[in-house]
Amino acid sequence: MEESALIPHLFRTEYRKIVSVLCYRFGIAHIETAEDIVSDTFLTATESWSMKGIPENPTAWLYTVAKNKTKNYLRHHTIFEQKLVNQIQIEVEKETEIDLDLSDKNINDSQLAMMFTICDPVISKEAQIALALNLLCGFGVQEIADGFLTGKDTIYKRLKRTKEKLKETGIKIEQPKVTAINQRLETVLTTLYLLFSEGYYSVSNDTTLRKDVCAEAMRLNYLLISNTITDLPAVNALFALMCFHASRFDARTDADGTPVLYEEQDEKLWNRELIDQGIYYLNRASTGSTLSKYHLEAAIAYWHTHKADSTEKWENILQLYNQLLILEYSPIIAMNRTFALAKTNGKVAAIAEAEKLELNDNHLYFSLLGNLYSGIDNKKALKHFKTATDLAVTEADKKMIDKSIQKLANW
């Protein structure tokens, strides 16, 4: 991987790990100091690698530099509370290494602890998700703003206020206890869901699919599964959902990066191993008495791993969407439901339901209407496709809509 691509990739995967370890060691009060140290580490990498080339083990290089920068910071700054200063001073006097443990186990422990610390109910749910996306997932302010459909300044201020709130309350970063899990798991899972969604359909980076982001969401989700007290049905259901979606990644875009509609995907490109993993974790999620939205979405994704059309398939998908809307209504879920409705009850019935939604700022909505009207009223279909093109943000989406317009000639 070239330097121009490697450093952003490592920033995405390693930044949050080192920040988590620093915060786990020194406390949430020093969160901004931890971010500064890690940001400076990547700045040093950019400067050094451009002159000397990429080291043999870039990740290990980053960890070594982060350790050294932490040691230097602690030697020369008095920002830390006196107790911590005294502790570090003793270590320095003994000429021992600063104990910055960047082993896989400590990184995993640190990130698990950070997940639940960030999602403390002392701060609002929106603030929790924004901070988790920033610190645990490596999202920039603009990416988070895109996810929340709000302005960059709003997110910047929200992150700043949230960090200050956490420092004021003196919350400890520690391994989650049962009480914390019960209070915060929903927010933790929402954060991981949003992270995977950003990778699955990315607008902020003008690309359709970012597999590395999805992989990180799955890795963090698996951390929860790997811990006995967080290995819960909803956690397994979310992981199953991710597996089913990830199984179709290679078929979702063509060689030019243009999205490929579900019905046109090459089934031979689907990853059978990931589908089997999804089935395994969905079965693990079937214990207990609570049905989460992740159970229902995973079941919908499971049926989408059956390529052939059948009455059973689309009836099951439609009923699952109906349950999902009852559990947690969303206009986007309602929009997605209309595709299954078209398969079971016909396009006319689906159009009637879709037009009630009036999602007039969503290009996917108008693309859906264009497809539903194709073959019924091609003039209306074309109008909807053109509106979808005007609203689309990425070039890939515009190309996909253009392909649908070209198909109208065959109706």
pLDDT of residue 34: 93
Q: Which domain holds residue 160?
A: 104-207
Decide if 233 contacts 285 (C-beta within 8 A). Answer: yes
Residue 145, domain member (yes or no) = yes
138 part of a folded domain: yes
The domain tally of the chain equals 1
User: Which residue in the block uniquely carries the two structure tokens 């954060």?
Assistant: 191
CA distance 215 to 238: 13
**Predicted pLDDT of residue 95:** 45
Query: pTM for the complete prediction?
Result: 0.83
- pLDDT score, position 82: 52
In a domain, 270, yes or no: no
Q: Is residue 135 part of a domain?
A: yes
pLDDT tens string 79-114? 554 545 555 554 554 445 566 899 999 999 999 999
pLDDT tens digits for 233-267? 999 999 999 999 999 999 988 887 778 889 899 99
Residue 112 lies in a domain: yes
Regions of the chain where pLDDT drops below 70: 1-3, 78-99, 147, 149, 202-209
pLDDT of 81 reads 47
Residue 121 in domain: yes
Does 331 map to a domain?
no
Whether 181 is in a domain gets the answer yes
Question: Cβ(251)–Cβ(244) under 8 Å?
Answer: no
